[in-house]
């Protein structure tokens, strides 16, 4: 077959529309491999189920906290600690999250729960060991422990109501000890006390003794790290809510840890406020002591200064000075008016004016009774004189007497005025002296006042500061009573249920893996291990013509000549069909040499060779079989013949051609056996004597059948093809696969081998299917058109 023919066939296959054969292929794949997923997927499902059954469920506990400040504390002006108490409606809670997830706060919670967390209790079952948090009939309290036993499994068994037994491995040695409940157990490895719980009573001791327990003592730091890793804190967007979740295989333990952690966190938030408040009050008290001391010192300074300067009250002294100065000025003004009045009176008297016009100033001295009475008397005398002169003359004795009295009175008044004026002037001089004295004393008041003001200012400052501190101290006391936690629990710790593992998902994954492995096995079988079982399958995978097929028959390969053993059997009928097809191939040609080979041993190559020869011989043709599989000859065993001489002895010149040709039990069927197995079989095949042998048998027999070694193991068959006219490749359904066909295809194409035909051996099929299938190998059916490519004419 030419390369172009092969390409054209492949193009026809590739461009052909989807046909019924494609569905047949799919059905064939399903029918050959349906049991694989049915076996593997249930196995994986069961394995997944038991795997999940042994897995411990992880539960999640949750608590929700609200961070908000009390309204009173936000609006109160008492504390004036805006940085501490004030908050907006929404704040960044990243710092709070860091605090909650910190090592220290978790360690405080674990230490608080040490008696409940340090020891884990396990109930040992037949299939799995289950950890328990509550319900165990005993409680282990650890005082000291060997670090090598931390996180180690310790077996615990109740012996009776009073005693227990523990076993553990240390340095590869098993150590067993017994102890008494509610009493200290001390050895070189640990110091513990095992207490009975309330549910452990004498009546239950026998039943509990049948149960196996295990305990594990933990390091507290390891517990802290474990809880810290499983703790998650989430702050939902635009809220002050903190959602704390903790994953644990024991939901009760997770709830307990979350509850304790929340309370510690809330307590720390108020504790910090109380500490700040206490520190503030302590600071205020300290400042009050300092201010009080400073105030006492300033007051002492004021008192000493007043004592040294003789100061009683500077304000009173200043007011007294101004009062007296005003009094002196009033006195001086009054005295000056008096002087002016008596001066006017003196001038009036001296000038002797009309008595009806007394000076007005004379009334300013009405406090001087003498002067007042004298002036009044003078005024009356002048009135009398004026009256007498109205009706008498100057010489009138009454007038004279009046004038004498007036004169004498004037003299007395003038003398009195002079004395009075001199006395008044002296009084004014005295007043001026007093004023100067007071002014001198007043000048000393200002420096005192300034010094006293400085001291008083210090007093006022310290008094104000003292009053302010007292007020602030009172405010802090009130604020302390008003401190409330900013953190509130709005959703108490509760179990959210199992969050992992997703057991259904794991089982589904196992099922899917089993299904995937099944499909993978099916694909591998299809690609590498699926063998060709029918002629139809072989047609789909090869461009080589198929000349015949042989049905499967149990132990048939152990039979030498099958067609002679049971002439009416399926296998005999198959060889008759094969003979017919061969006759069509060699029709009107000189082709008489047929080479039979296979890819590997056990495919029926030798069996096919013998039976083709036998069926041809029964047709009246002289046939000879050449046993050229010199490595493992099989014809001699199948025909139960002695191979003391044969091809190998002929090659080395020990036998002649006539001697090595032997007849068989079948008429016209002769055989040339391999002879003794030579040490170099492949070298003998390359000998020139082989050509002589081939020419001899071609000249003396109608058909020559050459049995060769398997092509997939040795190159002898490829070499011997130069002597053959027809090359038959036997494929067995046990071994025939795509790889074998690819090998044949490559061999044919690389060596341009012609007249190559395939024989499929070991086909399993029903009687009627086989009966009718034999008619498909006639000319124009199996060979010409149906089973490969159209033969070129």
Q: Which of 713, 712, 706 has the alpha carbon at shortest distance from 728?
A: 706
Question: Which residues are CB-contacts of 54 (< 8 A; sequence separation ≥ 6)?
Answer: 127, 128
pLDDT at 2: 45
Residues 71-122 pLDDT 10s: 334 434 444 444 433 444 556 788 888 989 999 999 999 999 999 999 999 9
CA angle (728, 729, 734) in 5-degree steps: 145
Residues 468-508 pLDDT 10s: 888 888 888 888 777 777 788 888 999 999 888 888 899 99
* Distance in angstroms (rounded) separating the CA atoms of residues 345 and 378: 11
Residue 381 CA: distances (Å) to CA of 1, 355, 386, 402, 407: 194, 9, 8, 6, 10
Query: Is residue 652 within 8 Å of 634, Cβ to Cβ?
Result: no
* Distance in angstroms (rounded) separating the CA atoms of residues 353 and 362: 14
Residue 607 CA: distances (Å) to CA of 291, 561, 586, 756: 126, 8, 22, 19
Query: Is residue 717 within 8 Å of 630, Cβ to Cβ?
Result: no
* Distance in angstroms (rounded) separating the CA atoms of residues 666 and 684: 29
Under the banding of pLDDT at 50, 70 and 90, the label for residue 310 is: low
**What are the residues facing 66 on neighbouring strands?**
241, 488
Minimum mean pLDDT range among 48-57, 149-158, 272-281, 468-477: 272-281
Residue 596 CA: distances (Å) to CA of 475, 677, 727: 116, 20, 6
Under the banding of pLDDT at 50, 70 and 90, the label for residue 361 is: low
Average pLDDT for the chain: 81
Residues 270-306 pLDDT 10s: 777 787 888 888 888 888 888 888 878 877 787 777 6
Which region holds residue 182: left if phi is over 0, alpha if psi is between -120 and 50, else beta?
A: left
Higher pLDDT, 269 or 2: 269
* Distance in angstroms (rounded) separating the CA atoms of residues 702 and 592: 6
Q: Residue 356, CB half-sphere, CA atoms under 13 Å: how many?
A: 2
Predicted confidence (pLDDT) at residue 359 exceeds the cutoff of 90: no
Give me the residue label for tokens 């099989």.
634
Q: Which of 579, 583, 596, 607 has the alpha carbon at shortest distance from 762?
A: 607
pLDDT at 753: 84
Under the banding of pLDDT at 50, 70 and 90, the label for residue 624 is: very high
Using a cut of 0.85, tell me whether the model's pTM lies above it.
Answer: no
Query: Is residue 643 within 8 Å of 675, Cβ to Cβ?
Result: yes
Give me the residue label for tokens 């799919």.
26
Structure tokens at 578: 């094969």
* Distance in angstroms (rounded) separating the CA atoms of residues 538 and 272: 88
**Mean pLDDT of the 642-650 span:** 89
Predicted confidence (pLDDT) at residue 465 exceeds the cutoff of 90: no
* Distance in angstroms (rounded) separating the CA atoms of residues 612 and 578: 8
CA angle (560, 561, 566) in 5-degree steps: 120
* Distance in angstroms (rounded) separating the CA atoms of residues 365 and 424: 12
Mapped onto helix, strand or coil, the DSSP state of residue 641 is coil
Residues 732-749 pLDDT 10s: 888 888 888 888 888 888
């Amino acid at each position: 077959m030419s390369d172009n023919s092969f390409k054209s066939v492949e193009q026809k296959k590739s461009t052909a529309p989807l046909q019924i054969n494609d569905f047949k292929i799919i059905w064939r794949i399903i029918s050959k491999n349906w049991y694989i997923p049915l076996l593997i997927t249930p196995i994986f499902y069961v394995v997944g189920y038991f795997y999940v059954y042994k897995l411990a469920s992880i539960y999640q506990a949750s608590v929700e906290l609200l961070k908000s400040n009390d309204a009173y504390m936000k609006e109160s002006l008492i504390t004036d600690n805006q940085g501490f108490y004030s908050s907006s409606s929404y704040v960044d809670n990243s710092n709070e999250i860091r605090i909650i997830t910190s090592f220290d706060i978790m360690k405080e919670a674990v230490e608080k729960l040490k008696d409940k967390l340090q020891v884990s209790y396990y109930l040992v079952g037949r299939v799995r060991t289950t950890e328990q948090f509550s319900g165990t009939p005993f409680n282990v309290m650890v005082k000291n422990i060997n670090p090598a036993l931390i996180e180690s499994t310790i077996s615990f068994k109740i012996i009776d109501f009073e005693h227990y037994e523990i076993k553990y491995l240390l340095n590869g040695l098993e150590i067993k000890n017994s102890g008494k409940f509610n009493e200290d157990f001390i050895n070189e490895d640990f110091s513990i006390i095992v207490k009975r719980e309330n549910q452990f009573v004498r009546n239950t001791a026998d039943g509990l003794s049948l149960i196996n327990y295990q305990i594990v003592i933990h390091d507290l730091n390891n517990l802290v790290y474990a809880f810290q890793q499983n703790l998650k804190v989430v702050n939902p967007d635009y809220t002050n809510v903190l959602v704390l979740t903790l994953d644990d295989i024991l939901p009760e333990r997770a709830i307990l840890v979350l509850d304790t952690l929340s309370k510690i966190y809330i307590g720390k938030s108020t504790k910090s406020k109380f500490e700040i408040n206490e520190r503030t009050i302590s600071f205020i008290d300290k400042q009050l002591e300092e201010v009080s001391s400073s105030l006492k010192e300033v007051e002492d300074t004021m008192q000493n200064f007043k004592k040294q300067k003789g100061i009683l009250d500077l304000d009173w002294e200043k007011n007294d000075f101004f009062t007296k100065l005003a009094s002196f000025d009033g006195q001086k003004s009054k005295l000056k008016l008096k002087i002016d009045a008596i001066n006017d009176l003196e001038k009036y008297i001296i000038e002797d004016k009309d008595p009806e016009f007394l000076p007005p100033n004379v009334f300013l001295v009405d406090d001087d009774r003498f002067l007042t009475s004298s002036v009044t008397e003078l005024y009356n005398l002048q009135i009398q004189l004026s009256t007498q002169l109205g009706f008498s003359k100057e010489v009138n004795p009454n007038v004279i007497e009046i004038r004498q009295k007036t004169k004498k009175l004037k003299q007395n008044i003038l003398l009195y005025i002079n004395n009075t004026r001199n006395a008044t002037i002296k009084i004014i001089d005295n007043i001026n002296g007093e004023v100067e004295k007071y002014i001198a004393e007043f000048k000393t008041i200002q420096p005192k006042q300034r010094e006293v003001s400085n001291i008083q200012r210090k007093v006022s400052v310290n008094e104000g500061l003292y009053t302010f501190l007292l007020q602030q101290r009172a405010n802090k006391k009130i604020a302390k009573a008003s401190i409330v936690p900013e953190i509130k629990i709005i959703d108490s710790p509760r179990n959210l249920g199992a969050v992992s593992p997703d057991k259904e998902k794991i089982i589904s994954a196992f099922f899917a893996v089993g299904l995937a492995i099944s499909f993978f096995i099916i694909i591998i079988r299809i690609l590498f291990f699926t063998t060709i079982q029918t002629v139809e399958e072989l047609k789909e995978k090869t461009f080589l013509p198929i000349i015949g097929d042989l049905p499967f028959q149990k132990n048939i390969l152990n039979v030498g000549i099958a067609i002679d053993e049971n002439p009416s059997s399926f296998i005999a009928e198959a060889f008759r069909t094969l003979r017919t097809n061969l006759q069509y191939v060699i029709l009107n040609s000189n082709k008489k040499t047929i080479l039979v080979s296979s890819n590997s041993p056990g495919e029926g190559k030798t069996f096919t060779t013998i039976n083709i020869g036998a069926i041809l011989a029964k047709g009246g043709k002289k046939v000879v079989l050449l046993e050229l599989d010199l490595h493992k000859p099989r014809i001699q065993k199948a025909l139960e013949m002695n191979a003391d001489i044969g091809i190998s002895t002929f090659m080395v010149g020990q036998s002649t051609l006539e001697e090595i040709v032997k007849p068989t039990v079948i008429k016209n069927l002769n055989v040339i056996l391999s002879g003794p197995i030579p040490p170099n079989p492949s070298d003998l095949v390359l000998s020139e004597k082989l050509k002589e042998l081939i020419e001899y048998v071609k000249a003396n027999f109608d058909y020559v059948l050459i049995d060769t070694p398997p092509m997939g193991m040795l190159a002898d068959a490829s070499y011997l093809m130069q002597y053959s006219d027809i090359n038959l490749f036997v494929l067995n359904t046990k071994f025939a696969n795509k790889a074998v066909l690819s090998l044949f295809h490559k061999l044919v194409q690389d060596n341009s081998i012609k007249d190559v035909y395939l024989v499929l051996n070991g086909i399993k099929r029903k009687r009627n299917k086989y009966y009718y299938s034999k008619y498909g190998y006639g000319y124009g059916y199996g060979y010409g058109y149906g089973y490969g490519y159209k033969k070129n004419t």
